Amino acid sequence: METFKKLKQFYWPYRKFFFWSLFSLLFVTGISVVYPIVLQVTIDEVVGQERYSLIPYICIAFVGLMIVKGVATYFHQYLGEYFGIRSVYTLRDALYKKLQRLPFRYYDNAKTGDLMSRLTADVEGFRFFLALGFSELIRIILLIVISLSVMFYFSVPLALVTMAVMPFLAIVVYRFDRKVHPAFRKIRKSFGKLNTRVQENISGMNTVKSLSREDFEVGRFLNRSDDYRSNFITTSNIWSKYFPLMEFIGNVSVVALLAYGGYLVVNDSLMLGELVAFFNLVWLVLGPLMNFGFVINLFSQSKASGERLLEILEAEEDIQEKEGAIIQDRLNGHVTFKEVTLTYAEDDDSALKDISFDAPPGKTIGLIGATGSGKTSITQLITRFYEPEKGEVLLDGNPVQDYGLKTLRKNIGFVLQESFLFSTTIKENISYGNPDATMEDVMAAAKRAQAHDFIMDMPEGYDTLLGERGMGLSGGQKQRIAIARAILIDPAVLILDDATSAVDMETEFQIQKALQEVMEGRTTFIIAHRISSLKHADEILVLEDGAVKERGLHDDLLVNGGPYQRIYDIQYQDKEKIMNAANI
């Protein structure tokens, strides 16, 4: 029960609904045990003693009991479901909030499909046990205890003979639980992997079709589906082995009951009505005991789901806001790195090695280098997406850890290399970071990003609904909307992570021209592969293998004969060759 103890905070606040459901269950269970007693009275008193005048009273009592049982069943089921639904609502809310707080490091290894599976199938599996499994377990215990009490009241020897096989049934149930729980754990994992495969395939459908890899993707899906099928068959095999054995043990008990009970009736040690009642009562014991396997099934599924949910809830939040953090609306944007080293994983090489620079407000820093040289890593440390292994990152003279996360990130405009747009209107996408912005502010930001014209050409203008991930827009259009979104929060620090890579040269020139006004008075970091995007920077850092190999102005770096000049020569010599070929 350790898993359920850890998740207690989500269902215990709603315990009153659970206990009222159990109170209703007492009536349902008690009346179920009364039925055999009514049958015994009918046979022994009415038929045996020929007291037929009792029949109307027995019928009225029986109808009354059915009405009470029906009402109690309604409240039991409704309150039980309400308890489960309220509990998992709180749980799902906590899971989603936790996912918002988890750092980038967690998502480096997480699979989207698996996370979706946990927030849907696993949460639902946990709810099902809360709503049904707990109460079913208690119903089984109540039925067994009450039924056994009545059986011992009728005949102690017959009750002992009938219950002689119960220890064997308990052993089988225990062994079934030991086998079925790992099997359900595998089912949950394979289902998460299957979801991941579907999600990745749908997200990458353009790539799949453009490379004609549909058959390959079908094969990969079938492998995951086959794994899921295999785990389900294994679990079904466990069920198929144990349930006939449980039923066999139960039937042995019934045979013993009929043999010894018949002997007692013949010798006038037991009345016929009592034997008939005994026969019904024994199934109120055996049925729940065999149904105990179903409860174990629910418990195992719920436990496996709960363990997967706890993996999220207990994941380490290594990026946390310190107590007494600095909270303010506007920062100046003075960024300083002091001998900063960053390693993403314990056994990996350092992504950044002893990086130091100073960027006062209004200064533009250009970052250039090969893929994997550490350009993006620098900007991710400013926003505290990751923590440095060594050294300090300062903002306005204070370590970035001293600021509240909202204060820090509200003052940093971040345009990622791959622009992500939500499935909503263009206006809501641009104002995502500043939802209180007016329509005039949104339009002004779009104009600065050279996005206003193509937005107005759309049928609904700024109210145009975008498809998933901005489907329906070109790469350059999505990039310009992302730039407008960053501009609208009026950041103290502006980070452009290859922000113009998806636009043509003419549009890039227009955006760069517009950004000159936006960048004024802000600390700006420009990550680019094209020198034309950052040659006007106040300082250019040339990175190789996580270290700064060169730094300086564009003109100075061109005469050093270092990596920057080599990049320049490659880009512009190729350009000259293309132009010469065009002239020919």
What the chain holds in terms of domains, given with CATH numbers, is 2-313 (1.20.1560.10), 329-411+494-553 (3.40.50.300), 419-490 (3.40.50.300)
Q: Which residues of 385-532 form beta strands (DSSP E)?
A: 390-395, 398-399, 412-415, 493-497, 523-527
In the prediction, which pLDDT does 522 show? 86
In the prediction, which pLDDT does 131 show? 84
In the prediction, which pLDDT does 392 show? 93
The beta-carbon contacts of 469-474 under 8 Å, at least 24 apart in sequence, are: 469/203, 469/420, 469/421, 469/423, 470/419, 470/420, 470/421, 470/429, 473/421, 474/502
Distances in Å between the alpha carbon of 101 and those of 109, 120, 319, 405?
A: 16, 19, 8, 10
Angle between helix axes 475-488 and 439-448 (nearest 10 degrees) is 130
In the prediction, which pLDDT does 578 show? 46
Tens-place pLDDT, residues 440-487: 999 998 888 888 888 898 888 999 888 766 667 877 788 888 888 888
Beta bridge partners of 390: 341
pLDDT tier for residue 340 given thresholds of 50, 70 and 90? very high
Residues 65, 69, 74: CA angle, nearest 5 degrees: 155
User: Is residue 500 within 8 Å of residue 514, measured between CB atoms?
Assistant: no
In the prediction, which pLDDT does 439 show? 93
Tens-place pLDDT, residues 126-175: 888 888 878 888 888 888 888 888 888 888 888 888 788 778 877 887 78
Helix (H) or strand (E) holding 550: strand 547-552
- Longest Cα separation, the chain: 121
pLDDT tier for residue 394 given thresholds of 50, 70 and 90? very high
Q: Report phi then psi at 332, rounded to 5.
A: -80, -30
Average pLDDT over residues 278-284: 82
Mean pLDDT value across the chain = 83
Average pLDDT over residues 83-87: 90
Terminus-to-terminus CA distance in the chain, angstroms? 80
Q: Is the pLDDT of residue 204 over 80?
A: no
DSSP 257-318: HHHHHHHHHHTTSS-HHHHHHHHHHHHHHHHHHHHHHHHHHHHHHHHHHHHHHHHHHTS---
Identity of the amino acid at 563? P
Tens-place pLDDT, residues 505-561: 676 666 666 667 677 788 999 988 878 788 889 999 999 988 999 999 998 888 888
Tell how strand 335-342 and strand 390-395 pair up: antiparallel
Tell how strand 335-342 and strand 412-415 pair up: unpaired
User: Is residue 368 within 8 Å of residue 497, measured between CB atoms?
Assistant: no
Q: Is the pLDDT of residue 575 over 60?
A: no
